[in-house]
Amino acid sequence: MAELVLNVVCEDDPQEEVIKKLFSIRPDFRIDTVYRRNGNRYIIANINHFNEDADNIPYFILTDLDYWPCPPGLMDEWLDDEKHPNLIFRIAVHSVESWLMADFDNFSHFFRIPNEEMRRDLEEIIEPQKYLLFLIDKYSTKEFKDAMLPKKGAKIGRQYNAYLTEFINKRWNYHYAERYSKSLRHALRAICLFRI
């Protein structure tokens, strides 16, 4: 079978690692170029270019829903034209942190948080990053608090993304997490069913 390539567009390091892990279910695909910036402004500014270029090479785009009311509304707002069949556009509700925390057993063990203290309705949490930081602050070890909690004027600690990336690569089980995350389940289904 010939190897197929695709480009990836995402917001940050943890999202990139999530995408790479999810595509382990598609060994027929190889990720070629990763377009990544901090936040979604880069995606918004370039999504119509990626949609046009999907005629030449498939794209997988992942972004956070953040404060948008619903994923279809975000997609309609960002895209000027109809989405190309070779563009997979998935939205984490409300952010990729929800996908990570949905693997309750591994997340709680890795970050030293009591499993029973974690909410199960993660996609109802509008600001999952703040909730994750709350859990770290209240329950986790000094090591994680020092590395992940924000200092004055910052949103996250200096090693926040590094520790999330380590968790994704070493412990995150997306097959377990998808049971508790509808948007992750939809992303996995889109990857599994994608054909050129």
Tell me which residues of the chain have a pLDDT lower than 50. Answer: none
pLDDT at position 2, please?
A: 62
pTM for the structure as a whole: 0.95
Mean pLDDT across the chain, nearest whole number? 95
Contact between 81 and 54 under an 8 Å Cβ cutoff? The reply is no
Q: What is the pLDDT of residues 31-83, one digit of tens each?
A: 999 999 878 999 999 999 999 999 999 999 999 998 887 888 898 899 999 99
At 38 the pLDDT is 79
- The ranges assigned to domains in the chain are 4-95+180-193, 97-179
Strand partners, 81: none
Q: What CATH class has 4-95+180-193?
A: alpha beta
pLDDT number for residue 1: 52
